[in-house]
Amino acid sequence: MKSLNILTLLLIIVGGVNWGLVGAFEFDLVAALFGRGSGLTRLVYILVGLSALYQLIPFSRALSVGEVSAEANTVHRY
């Protein structure tokens, strides 16, 4: 599960950097690397979107139990 979390975070970072480049310089790095409208470019965009959806799970857990407990995947009952 940890490796999936790291992979999805990495993809979200790639997506964030790409959107920053699009916003600041009108340069789409993913499209430049893989070709505008290519299947690989679309796949990267889809994986970034799915990664963001997946990361809603630990995000909601962190909001409800506290960040440290969410990272450890435990809930402390007091």
Q: Note down pLDDT in tens along the chain; length 78 residues.
A: 789 999 999 999 999 999 999 999 999 999 999 999 999 999 999 999 999 999 999 888 888 886 666 566 665 555
CA–CA gap between residue 35 and residue 42 (Å, rounded): 10
Give SS3 for 78: coil
Contact (CB, 8 A) for 11 and 47? yes
Which alpha helices (DSSP H) does the chain contain, by range?
2-25, 29-34, 39-65, 67-72
Q: What are phi and psi of 66, to 5 degrees?
A: 100, 145
Kindly report the pTM of this predicted structure: 0.77
